[in-house]
Amino acid sequence: MEDHSLRDRLVYPKENVYFALVVLFSILSYILLAFSVVGIIIILLLIFVSVLLHGIMMGGIRRNGVRISEKQFPEIYEKAVLTAKEMGLAELPDIYVIESQGVLNAFAARFFRKNMVVLYSGIFELIERGAEKEVLFVLAHEFAHLKRKHVLISILLLPAMWIPFLGNAYLRACEYTCDRYAAYFINSLESSRDALAMLAIGKELYPKVNIQVYMEQLQTETGFFVWLNEKLSTHPHLPKRIYALSTFFAEDATSELKEPKGKVWLGIAGSILTAMILTGGIFAGFKTLEKMELWTETVLGIEGATPLMNAASENDTEMIHTLLAEGADVEETDAEGSTVLHWAVYNGHLESASLLLENGANPNTIDSYDSSPLMSAVFNEDVEMSQLLLEFGADPALKDSEGYTAYDYAKDYGNKELMKLLQP
């Protein structure tokens, strides 16, 4: 799992596709509601109720839960700190453990500008059995939700969450992404698969589960209601999550499994009928989620990395020269709004970044999260890259979606050299 090409592909492809759809639907919904007094009241009421209920729940957890720290379970805390830092989080989220009466679960949350991860005690108890890697997988999975800002944008996407299939499809794609992040950053496919098996059968029996046989249930346990259950769920079925991790990190060692398609027509008919009933016919013309993805890719033209971005990520300056000479746009962006310069900075390639800047790349472009290349350099604690960007006019006063500047992040990291360089 040390291959850097894997790190560049950790985001599950369908996440960006579904994200575009739910953002489009949610924004249109808010615009329509904003045209009337009643609509504005509904928006404010929804936000108020959501914040109130969330605040009450988080308040109870903050007071009653056990917060992990240097003095409270310090060994797992140190490993959590390292994992969060490697993942690129600006600071470690507050981690709380709460009694769960045997329920195995965890979730990421945000409480008034403060990131939190809540771990149920049923999972956390595994550290007493030498299964720290499994616990770290669960923590890293929730860290990934924060890294990808899934929690931060939840209010924006609220209207789309009411639509059957659409909102849940996006949430399932997010789960696949976070599984990949977690497995990559704990550097253990085996522990990652064990952690998911634990969620299926419990912490006592999961070591005895035959993972291969469990994955093969994808071929034996099928049918319309199995399909419908997953499509209405926020999480993919566990055998599918394990299989997805296995094919991503160990494709050559994983036997191909195909879900039988004999009853697909029934699933399509059922999904269309359910959508028509629950939405009053608004989405009666929608096809299956697979066709929705094809429509998005064809009509909206959402794409991932371009050849120029790949060249920048691999520090292939010859290819960058060639592509720019052939007319490639130095300001082209991917589905997250990241420019070619962002890609060079992410990977710490000073030569590629310098070449792009010399060819007119704007050092103050921002991605979907309002992060600039300078902020990315600070995340990497890359002083030389930061100096280069400043020389080409990077603005250290730019703020991201959380209101932080590059200097703020340097201060969080405690990097005095960067702080001095970026001092306002």
pLDDT digits (tens, 9 = 90+) for 266-275: 656 656 776 6
Residue 212 confidence (pLDDT) = 95
Q: What is the DSSP letter of 234?
A: S
State the amino acid at position 410 in one-letter form: A
Residue 3 confidence (pLDDT) = 57
Dist. CA 101–CA 329, nearest whole Å: 56
* Residue where the block lists tokens 């013309």: 285
Any idea how long the chain is? 424
The region of weakest confidence among 108-117, 201-210, 299-308 is 299-308
pLDDT digits (tens, 9 = 90+) for 386-398: 899 989 998 988 9
Dist. CA 119–CA 135, nearest whole Å: 9
Count how many Cα atoms sit within 13 Å of the Cα of residue 283 in the half-sphere of its side chain.
20
DSSP annotation string for 97-119: EE--TT---EEEEEETTEEEEEE
Q: Secondary structure of the chain: what % helix, strand, coil (to 5)? A: 60, 5, 35
Taking residues 149-158, report their average pLDDT. Answer: 77
Taking residues 396-423, report their average pLDDT. Answer: 88
pLDDT digits (tens, 9 = 90+) for 291-341: 444 333 333 333 457 889 888 888 999 998 999 999 989 999 888 888 999
CB 170 within 8 Å of CB 21 = yes
* Residue where the block lists tokens 């497995």: 183
pLDDT at 286 over 50: no
Q: Which pLDDT band, with edges at 50, 70 and 90, does 130 fall under?
A: confident
Lateral strand order in the sheet of 94-98:
66-67, 94-98, 114-120, 106-111
What residues does each domain of the chain span? 4-300, 307-422
pLDDT at 80 over 90: yes
Taking residues 99-127, report their average pLDDT. Answer: 87
Average pLDDT, whole number, for the chain?
84
CB 277 within 8 Å of CB 232 = no
Q: In the chain, pLDDT over 70 holds for what percent of residues? A: 89
DSSP H or E segment with residue 22: helix 13-34
DSSP H or E segment with residue 66: strand 66-67
Dist. CA 120–CA 128, nearest whole Å: 14
The region of weakest confidence among 152-166, 258-272, 324-338 is 258-272
pLDDT digits (tens, 9 = 90+) for 9-65: 999 999 999 888 888 888 888 788 777 777 778 777 877 887 787 778 888 888 889
Token representation of residue 85: 């830092």
pLDDT digits (tens, 9 = 90+) for 360-377: 999 999 888 888 999 988
Which of helix, strand or coil describes residue 95? strand
Fold classified for 307-422: 1.25.40
* Residue 233 neighbours by CB distance under 10 Å: 13
Which of helix, strand or coil describes residue 293? helix
> Environment class of residue 41 by beta-carbon count within 10 Å: exposed (0-12), middle (13-18) or buried (19+)?
exposed
How far is residue 270 CA from its own chain's centroid?
30
Token representation of residue 45: 């009421």
State the amino acid at position 314 in one-letter form: E
Most distant CA pair in the chain, distance: 64
CB 117 within 8 Å of CB 143 = yes
Dist. CA 271–CA 163, nearest whole Å: 12
